[in-house]
């Protein structure tokens, strides 16, 4: 599908692609596996740094994402809150 914008025409992702992305994203976030995260990011052209500032950063990023996604249960979100606080990360607002 294309959409006319003030700067021209841009291609929007199909709803099926968005749904598939979310299914795959949620599966990766449930695993909390950094290698799976890198594969997912590469597949969907999500930019990432060549090197993470610290090995815990991608794991923290996954935990923070879980707190913002409705598909995750209260128990899954609590696991993420506990991990973030135990590893000296701040909780996102309303996290």
Burial 20-35 (b: 16+ CB within 10 A, else e): eeeeebeebbeebbbe
Give tens-digit pLDDT for 52-91: 999 999 999 999 999 999 999 999 999 999 999 999 999 9
Give tens-digit pLDDT for 11-26: 767 889 999 999 999 9
Torsion of CA 27, 28, 29, 31, to 10 degrees: 90
Beta bridge partners of 2: 11
Spans of all domains in the chain? 11-86
Rounded Cα gap, residues 40 and 90, in angstroms: 25
Q: Structure pTM?
A: 0.82
Rounded Cα gap, residues 85 and 5, in angstroms: 42
């Amino acid at each position: 599908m294309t959409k006319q914008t003030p700067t021209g025409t841009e291609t929007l992702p199909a709803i099926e692609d968005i749904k598939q992305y979310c299914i795959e994203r949620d599966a990766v976030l449930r695993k909390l596996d950094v290698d799976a995260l890198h594969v997912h990011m590469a597949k969907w052209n999500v930019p990432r740094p060549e090197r993470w500032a610290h090995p815990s950063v991608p794991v923290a990023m996954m935990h923070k994402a879980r707190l913002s996604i409705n598909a995750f249960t209260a128990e899954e979100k609590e696991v993420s809150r506990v991990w973030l606080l135990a590893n000296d990360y701040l909780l996102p607002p309303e996290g």
